[in-house]
Amino acid sequence: MRHRLFLPQRGARHGCARRLGSLLTALALSLPFSLPLAQADDRAMRDALEAARSQQWERIDQDAIADHSLAGYVEYHRLRDRLPQAEPDEVLDFIERHANSPLGEWMRGQAITRYGQANRHAYLRAVADGEPADTARRCYYYTAQLGSDPAAAAEGGLALWQVGRSQPGACDTLFDTLRSRGVIGEQQIWERKMLAWQAGEAGLVGYLGRQLGSRWDEPRQVMERLSGDFAAVTRVPTCIGPECRGSGPLFAAAMHGFTRADTEAAVEAWRKIEEHLPIEREQRHAIEHDLIFYSLVRDVRQHRGWVDQALAERSDADLLELRVRAALGERDWEGVLSWLDRMAPDTRDNSRWHYWSARAHEQLGDDARGQEDYALAAQGRSFFGFAAADRLGQPYALSLERNGFDDATREQVARWPVVQRTEALLRIDEPGLAASEWYGAIERASPREARALADYAQRQGWHAKLVQTTITGRMWDALEWRFPEAYSEHFLHWGRMTGVDPYLLMGITRRESAYNPEAVSPAGARGLMQVMPGTATQLAGQLGISDPGPYGVLDPELNIRLGSTYIRDMLDRYRGNRLAAAAAYNAGPSRVDRWLADAPEEFDLFVESIPFRETRLYVQAVLSYRAIFESLANGGNSEGVSMLSPTEKTVRYDRSLLARDSS
């Protein structure tokens, strides 16, 4: 059920006005100076939320927060603290009243956990709304159905069982009951043991092995033999376990490890045994997918004939992409067209594949068909779409969507409960909760409501939140919001000081952090341009400034200065080439140096040949984003904008691109 964003939050009444005089009097008596009412309410709310989190209910001034937009957060903690004793009706009432906030579903999840832990199965079933997403809660959910719906419990429990990792303790009762009922037997134990072996979970492998009877002694011995020597897969019995039902799981797990360890030998072994194995079609399909995938990724050409024969009977999008890329690397233009034709229409119908179809037809002398495909590719707003437009000599297709809201609508939006809660959470320094409120609202919103919220974020200067709003709301054509004019004075200044194109800096920043100045990657890269602390130290020494440390590097202007300096150094390394420099910014210059040693000579083939998918997509994004930023600076007009310079389009992409002092 959709809950409209502009409905007033239940419980918001006019009591605030009634208590205004007494509250101001209390503030005057307790503080050395007066605070505005909202500021005082926020202080009380901050204190109340802190107390609620630690169950110190006596510290909460309920009157001071009764009409605050965040009062539901304290109520949430009160009700959660009363679980599992609280009745389901109370929980459902809370969920209904807070359905336009994350609080509702958070409470449902808490209730499922607490009721599950207390074995209050009827209560759990009353508050659940279908299968939960969390694994432990799924286990509680299906445990609660063991008595009321045993078939559903069996199906859900088996899905939870059939994984190659340990499951939380919440699953124990479910699994034990299903074993006692015969739903989970030795066959299912063996299958999970093989999944655990495949995942490298030695502890779980041993535990499951101890649950098997003597009928599985030989399969266990075969597994132990293969664990020490995958190549023995051609010398072990093909019929494993009772009625050969252990064969499929064992050979699937063994071939998984063999393929990763030695793809060439694995293909040879598979071709010897595949016809004799009593395994399911799905298992055979998974084995061959791995073999084809790694043969193409690792360029195992000895078995290219087998790969092509096996791939001709499949339609896996990822494998066909790899095969097309292999054909491009070999300049097999007829092969490019042949493998493109095998792609499903919805996979093939994008700018990238239209572009390569055009290039292939052009190389084979069919210029008319090439022009047709370039025209199709140029309809896209992407790296290859822009590259196609350049070949046709036409402006880029931006498909720019413009949105406008009048003052009356904007005033109404400012009063929406979700906006008031988000603003209040930001005021009391709860950015994580504020983000949950905001993005949850975007997911529930109609397209017009979502755009109204994006407009509000833009006017508030919430650059990172604005970008994420367009992603959550799938506002792909709202380019002025997806690529906001943020920190422009710093990009222009440090672009000028370092001699780096400021639009390139914007493109890098948009890809690296989506304009979140506090972004920290799992690897430790920080800030707008995702500078590593070690790199920041090195660059600071180069610039003759103090080492900013891991937190100082988060400062937006300093981060842009350091990032601009680093990309300048990469541009110097690659003779000003932005494709190579962008690749080095993402993957490191030593890798790019190696790629250039074996690279194709043309820019598009160089980009497509980058072996790291992340870097391949990164380079395309940065350069296409750069063109979008420049077009937006021109009022949304791409006329005269070029993604690449003439030199970048025509230069040889090989080691000659390296400056001499970098080689």
Radius of gyration of the CA atoms of the chain, in A: 30
The whole-angstrom separation of Cα 659 and Cα 663 is: 7
Neighbours of 534 (CB within 10 A): 10
The 10s digit of each residue's pLDDT in 491-505 is 999 999 999 999 999
Whether 83 is in a domain gets the answer yes
Lowest mean pLDDT: which of 1-5, 342-346, 475-479? 1-5
Cβ–Cβ under 8 Å, residues 504 and 578: yes
Residue 642 has pLDDT above 60, yes or no: yes
Whether 259 is in a domain gets the answer yes
Q: Which of 453, 476, 499 corresponds to the end of one domain?
A: 476
Q: Which of 254, 283, 314 corresponds to the end of one domain?
A: 314
Cβ–Cβ under 8 Å, residues 43 and 65: no
The 10s digit of each residue's pLDDT in 568-596 is 999 999 999 999 999 999 999 999 999 99
Q: Are residues 503 and 644 in the same domain?
A: yes
Q: Are residues 508 and 645 in the same domain?
A: yes
- Report the SS3 class of residue 506: helix
Q: Are residues 437 and 530 in the same domain?
A: no
Q: Are residues 507 and 631 in the same domain?
A: yes
- Please identify which residue in the block is written with the tokens 């994004």: 621
Nearest to 36 by CA among 427, 419, 410, 430: 427
156-161 CB contacts, 8 Å cutoff, 24+ apart: 156/131, 157/183, 157/184, 158/183, 158/184, 158/188, 160/135, 161/188, 161/192
Q: pTM, whole model, 2 decimals?
A: 0.90
Residue 284 domain boundaries: 185-314
Whether 534 is in a domain gets the answer yes
Cβ–Cβ under 8 Å, residues 604 and 653: no
CB neighbours of 623 closer than 8 A, spacing ≥ 6?
383, 386, 507, 578, 579, 582, 643, 644
Structure tokens at 645: 């310079």
The 10s digit of each residue's pLDDT in 107-122 is 999 999 999 999 999 9
DSSP string of 596-616? HHT--SSHHHHHHH-S-HHHH
Q: For the chain, what percent of residues have pLDDT higher than 70?
A: 94
* Alpha helices (runs of H) in 312-446, residue ranges in sequence order: 317-329, 333-341, 345-348, 351-363, 367-377, 383-392, 407-414, 417-427, 431-444
Residue 416 has pLDDT above 60, yes or no: yes
Q: Are residues 441 and 497 in the same domain?
A: no
Whether 339 is in a domain gets the answer no
The whole-angstrom separation of Cα 277 and Cα 237 is: 9
The 10s digit of each residue's pLDDT in 154-196 is 999 999 999 999 999 999 999 999 999 999 999 999 999 999 9
Whether 130 is in a domain gets the answer yes
The whole-angstrom separation of Cα 321 and Cα 350 is: 13
Distances (CA, A) of 350 to 8, 96, 375, 628, 663: 44, 43, 12, 19, 38
Note the pLDDT of residue 344. 95
Q: Are residues 417 and 517 in the same domain?
A: no
- Segment 522-551 shows an average pLDDT of 95
Whether 380 is in a domain gets the answer no
Note the pLDDT of residue 659. 87
Domain count across the chain: 4
- Segment 28-38 shows an average pLDDT of 39
Residue 205 has pLDDT above 90, yes or no: yes
* Alpha helices (runs of H) in 162-216, residue ranges in sequence order: 172-180, 186-199, 202-209
Q: Are residues 89 and 213 in the same domain?
A: no
Q: Are residues 469 and 496 in the same domain?
A: no
- The answer to whether the bond into 447 is cis (omega within 30° of 0) is no
- Segment 87-98 shows an average pLDDT of 98
Q: Which active-site residues does the annotation give?
A: 512
Neighbours of 526 (CB within 10 A): 26
Q: Are residues 433 and 290 in the same domain?
A: no
Q: Are residues 128 and 29 in the same domain?
A: yes
Note the pLDDT of residue 564. 98
Residue 7 has pLDDT above 70, yes or no: no
pLDDT band at 453 (very low <50, low <70, confident <90, very high): very high
The DSSP 8-state label assigned to residue 476 in this structure reads: T
> What CATH number has the domain bearing residue 658?
1.10.530.10
The DSSP 8-state label assigned to residue 657 in this structure reads: G
Structure tokens at 169: 């303790």
Q: Are residues 56 and 87 in the same domain?
A: yes
- Segment 420-424 shows an average pLDDT of 97
Structure tokens at 391: 């070949």
Average pLDDT, rounded, for the chain: 93
Note the pLDDT of residue 662. 58
Distances (CA, A) of 181 to 174, 175, 176, 178, 212: 11, 10, 9, 5, 17
pLDDT band at 424 (very low <50, low <70, confident <90, very high): very high
The 10s digit of each residue's pLDDT in 253-284 is 999 999 999 999 999 999 999 999 999 999 99
Phi, psi of 520 (to 5 degrees): -130, 120
Structure tokens at 595: 């790629």
